[in-house]
Amino acid sequence: MNVSPLRASHPVPASQRITLLGTGTVGRAFVARHVALNARGMTLPPLAGIANTRGFSRIDCDCPNAVLNQLRDSEAPSASEWIADAVFGPGDIVVDASASDVIAQQHAGWLRGGAHVVTACKLGAGTSRVRWQDIRDAQAETGARYGDSATVGAGLPLLRTLRELAAGGDRITAVAGVLSGSLAYLMNNFDGMRPFSSFVHAAHAAGYTEPDPRDDLSGEDVRRKVLILARAAGLALDVEDVQVDSLVPLGLQPLSRAAFFERLPEIDAQMRAKFARAHKKGEVLKHIGRFEFLTDGTLIARVGLTSLPASHALAAGAGTDNRVAIWTDRYCENPLVIQGPGAGPEVTAGALLDDVLTIQRHH
């Protein structure tokens, strides 16, 4: 797909407009919240256009839901064509509610053109260091803002806390915790008796997983979050610096998404065994992402499933709760702990709109 960069010659709009990319679980919740906040009398930048892989629609009416539904129901994909119709220029806000690497590659270009980018997609700042640095450079060049609150903790005050601590001169010495809402849901509900795969289906249906749940089960989604957190703390980690243990059986890795779902029960035996081992020790399974400085100054980063005593600081939480401990110069004995729902369309859409409103306030 060829997504051309923003047309830099586009004039600065009199009023700021939103273009939404993605009409899936998060995109739909974003439109619903935009409509609800408008109905409550809040002043928001108008939704001027919506795109998915099938095209782009301008919104000229007071009916974004109808436009979204029409686009969702439209026929043949024309992924390479929508950008030609999209209009967003300096000062406008592009909201990325896709999981598209092709779109993420455009974040820096759009910022360079003066548009602000608000993203739920972690593929911009949570993949290679080069891409992340390009996004930072583009922001510095034009002053355009990059709203990333939704990318970690689905809007929990994690990134802004780290940034404020670092800006206040605190060194962040370690961050560790449950960073995946879907894996939290799975581990909090799996009882070792009902098949693990049935909970994966439930998490997918509830909108907690990535479009392809293997991105969660493989630990890749948490790797991205660890990278985003570390970078917010001022540590320029790169992808290969994070050691990741996957839960996806080898045979399920190369399959299409549909074939993966068909063969998903193949994960059940391995998960039952892990649960039984933890249960025997009186422990619980938790999926943890962390980075930390060792006493010799080495920075390490890891992602994977671990079994913890139920009394452990990271073992608490229910549902999709993320629970993250932050150690710094000032929080050196007892860490600062942040906990709350870490996945789901509503909280994610709330985080996206919060970033939009922050940008609007600075417009």
Ligand X SMILES: N[C@@H](CC=O)C(=O)O
Residues lying near ligand X in the complex (CB under 6 A) = 154, 180-182, 208-210, 216, 221, 342-343
155 DSSP 8-state letter: G
Sequence-ordered strand ranges (E) for 89-179:
93-96, 116-119, 146-147, 172-178
The residue annotated as part of the active site, out of 122, 225, 274, 286, is 225
For residues 91 and 115, the answer to whether their CB atoms sit within 8 Å is yes
- Would you count residue 37 as binding ligand NDP (CB under 6 A)? no
The CA distance from 64 to 28, in Å, is 10
The CA distance from 298 to 294, in Å, is 5
Q: What is the CA radius of gyration of the chain?
A: 21
225 carries an active-site annotation: yes
Sequence-ordered strand ranges (E) for the chain:
18-21, 47-52, 55-58, 93-96, 116-119, 146-147, 172-178, 242-244, 283-293, 299-309, 321-328, 336-341
DSSP assignment of 127-142 equals S-HHHHHHHHHHHHHH
Work out what residue 216 binds among ligand X, ligand NDP, none; the CB cut-off runs from 5 to 8 Å by kind.
ligand X
Please report how close the Cβ of residue 69 comes to ligand X at its closest, in angstroms: 24
Work out what residue 357 binds among ligand NDP, ligand X, none; the CB cut-off runs from 5 to 8 Å by kind.
none
Question: Which residue in the set 88, 146, 199, 208 belongs to the binding site for ligand NDP (CB under 6 A)?
Answer: 208
- Closer Cβ to ligand X, 65 or 253, answer by number: 253
- Closer Cβ to ligand NDP, 17 or 225, answer by number: 225
Please report how close the Cβ of residue 108 comes to ligand X at its closest, in angstroms: 21
Identity of residue 266:
E
- Closer Cβ to ligand X, 139 or 348, answer by number: 348
Backbone angles phi, psi at 56, to 5 degrees: -130, 135
- Would you count residue 19 as binding ligand NDP (CB under 6 A)? no
Cβ neighbors of 218 (< 8 A, separation 6 or more) are 244, 246, 247, 248, 253
Work out what residue 187 binds among ligand NDP, ligand X, none; the CB cut-off runs from 5 to 8 Å by kind.
none
- Count of residues binding ligand NDP (CB under 6 A)? 33
Cβ-closest residue to ligand NDP?
24
- Closer Cβ to ligand NDP, 79 or 315, answer by number: 79
Please report how close the Cβ of residue 272 comes to ligand NDP at its closest, in angstroms: 26
List active site positions: 225
**Which residues contact ligand NDP by CB under 6 A?**
1, 21-27, 51-54, 79, 97-100, 102-103, 120-122, 150, 154, 181, 207-208, 210-211, 343-345, 348
